[in-house]
Structure 1
């Protein structure tokens, strides 16, 4: 597990914000990813919420220099296998069900498992995880909740996702147990549909400077 943890941390530490992207049209994946990379956001989570997601991951993995494509909203072993075959370098799940954890055990690709409670965090900790997604962050207690966990669950690092924006990202990033945050605000649907890649690069650059 230590090797996969190191690989995951090296990806998450590329930037303070990991874009969480929903792709409706696979043709937009490459220019979108290039815009994000140009703004300093290299690790990109493409969620498996649309039929275009797997094609989008493959396109980004194959064609976008500097991008580290990951798959989000992975719920089971079948989705895991499809995401890895498409070129995903990391996998993100909203929760930590046994099907996903078992698939991760059989794979060289690192998993960022989702948790929302101390019990869930302890459960994945017992499976060898020390880098964990906190989701849905704002609805589950926000930065104050994560801060409260920093002492009793010392040694666990989090990537909070859900309800995070430019306005509250620093609240999370200032915590000692937060390695990065996940956010969708860097690629708004309207800007993607309009092909406003320069605008998305500006948002990405703003996000990448949150820890500077």
Structure 2
């Protein structure tokens, strides 16, 4: 599901009332997917409003507790992303048949993800953890794993990640930057979605 889009907008939206405008901009830009981070009070509301549109694949990001999995699931999340690897979060997602992509940055964490039955992981924080050279090294050791690098990825660097066969998708915020969302610059959001 994630790999169908290749680029996942990582959304931090403080104003739930803007969710529909954001959803329309993502769709207009040809990127009908969003990872709504659970870093704001209204995250579940934003997720629910985006999911109710019916023309977006919406997931929850920054999920670090099993209770947040339930909250995301009830709001309509179709996938869950975590900045780290929590067995509790993974198992709760598996119980709900909800795809989960935990964050890893080391071989040990990848092995732990494999032990939990996963084969797709978020490589995070990508740029701070060595970027594409590290992805290449980890992919060589774990050919069965697909990576979703996130953290510091830009419109300029995304293509080099996406060209690597082990990369399922990249997560980024350049198309949903805080200043664009705060300024309600929906046309620019749509334009940035269409860059790749």
Q: Same fold (TM over 0.5)?
A: yes
2:188 maps to 1:204:
no
User: Are the counterparts in 2 of residues 15 and 40 from structure 1 also a CA contact under 8 Å?
Assistant: no
Quote how far apart the aligned CAs of 1:84 are: 0.4
Deviation for aligned residue 1:132:
0.8
CA distance, structure 1, for counterparts of residue 104 and residue 29 of structure 2 = 29
**2:47 aligned residue (49, 53, 57):** 57
Moved over 6 A (4+): none
Match of 1:131? 120
Q: How many residues align?
A: 196
| Corresponding residue of 1:181 | 170
- Give 2:132's match in structure 1, choosing from 131, 143, 155: 143
Contact 1:14-1:41 within 8 A present in 2 as well: no
**Tell me, which stretches of 5 or more residues in structure 1 are unaligned?**
1-9
Summarize the Cα distance change of 1:139–1:34 in structure 2 as closer, same or farther, 3 Å threshold.
Answer: same
For structure 2, list consecutive stretches of 5 or more residues without a partner in the other structure: none
CA distance in 2: counterparts of 1:160 and 1:138, whole angstroms: 8
What do the CA deviations read for 1:74-113 (whole angstroms, capped 9, x no partner)? 0111111001001101000111112212212311111111
Q: What's the offset of the Cα at 1:16?
A: 2.1
**Which residues of 2 match residues 10-159 of structure 1 at below 5 A?**
10=1, 12-62=2-52, 64-159=53-148
Contact 1:49 1:73 in 2 (8 A): yes
TM-score where L is the length of structure 1: 0.89
Q: Is the 1:14–1:43 contact (alpha carbons within 8 Å) kept by the matching residues of 2?
A: no
Normalising by structure 2, report the TM-score. Answer: 0.96
CA distance in 2, matches of 1:65, 1:89: 12
Distance 2:163 2:46 in 1: 33
Distance change in 2, residues 1:66/1:14 (3 Å): farther
The superposition leaves residues 19-40 of structure 1 with CA deviations (integer Å, 9 ceiling, x where unpaired) of 0000101011111111011111
